[in-house]
Amino acid sequence: MSDASLITRDLTIRFGGHVAVNGVSCEFRPGELTVIVGPNGAGKTTYFNMISGQLTPTAGRVEKDGTDITRLAPSARARMGLGRAFQLTNLFPRLTVLENIRLAVQAQTGEGWGFFRPVSRLTALEDKARHYLEATRLAKVADQPAAELPHGDQRKLEVALLMAMEPDIYMFDEPTAGMSLDHAPDVLNLIAEIKKDKTKTVLLVEHKMDVVRALADRIIVLHNGELIADGDPGEVMSSRVVREVYLGQAEGAA
């Protein structure tokens, strides 16, 4: 028996003639934060989309705790504990920050909308919602409509909603992209906090090297849709193949 919580086997997707992800086999374990790196267009987001269910692979499979989830809808995967940071389109834009978090908590606990819920349970929901509001340092914007938040706070709200779902697998795709320097540390501290819980599996797409160094237990490298390196952060980042990929890109950009 594998101790992996998430496995991809020969995961492949073709868009017309272009193979965006090509035969990626990889296992992810609880207590491990894996950073996925690779140049723009390497297939990182597409790989995530096939794991979370936004895209159906051309070939290969995705397994969570030994169950084949390759053909399940994203919502079914989320109910099984597979958590992808919400995109802004998943927010209720006219509801406040706190109301959005409350709905995510409610979805996670399976509470319905009945009139006759005991007050004690409503209080527990409210306490949890406040907890995630404060954990993500959004208390000062609790009553603002989600759509009116500055970009950095919206990204934090996405993380708050993900935490409120209490998944056992967390997926972050460039969580600090476009975020100002005063917001990014909050989000990275939250990820560091999640990582301390050794029952959680964390996948993080990130290219800022200081972030990678601070958080990665393991690094995998995608290049042209293929997994070209996998292992200890120090070894992977100093390997010849990875240096070629990154130096090649740096020269191209210069």
Ligand X SMILES: Nc1ncnc2c1ncn2[C@@H]1O[C@H](COP(=O)(O)OP(=O)(O)O)[C@@H](O)[C@H]1O
- Shortest distance in whole angstroms from residue 172 CB to Mg ion: 11
- Going by C-alpha positions, the residue among 161, 146, 153 that lies closest to residue 97 is 146
Closer to ligand X by CB, 56 or 75: give it: 56
- Shortest distance in whole angstroms from residue 228 CB to Mg ion: 17
Question: What's the rounded Cα separation, in Å, for the pair 67 and 69?
Answer: 6
- Window of 6-14, 18-26, 44-52, 110-118 that interacts with Mg ion by CB under 5 A: 44-52
- Shortest distance in whole angstroms from residue 84 CB to ligand X: 14
Pick from 9, 14, 29, 45 the residue near Mg ion by CB under 5 A.
Answer: 45
CB 51 within 8 A of CB 171: yes
Chosen from ligand X, Mg ion, none, partner binding at 120 (C-beta under 5 to 8 Å by type)? none
- Using alpha carbons, list the distances in angstroms from residue 223 to 6, 24, 143, 156, 204: 21, 11, 43, 29, 16
Binding to ligand X by CB under 6 A, coded x per residue (else -) over 35-74, reads ---x-xxxxxxx----------------------------
- Window of 20-28, 41-49, 101-109, 154-162 that interacts with Mg ion by CB under 5 A: 41-49
- Shortest distance in whole angstroms from residue 130 CB to ligand X: 35
What is the residue whose two structure tokens read 């004690």?
A: 120
Question: What's the rounded Cα separation, in Å, for the pair 133 and 106?
Answer: 14
Provide φ and ψ at 69, rounded to 5°.
Answer: -115, 10
What DSSP designation does 150 have?
-
CA 184 to chain centre: 15
Positions that interact with Mg ion (CB under 5 A): 44-45
Positions that interact with ligand X (CB under 6 A): 15, 20, 38, 40-46
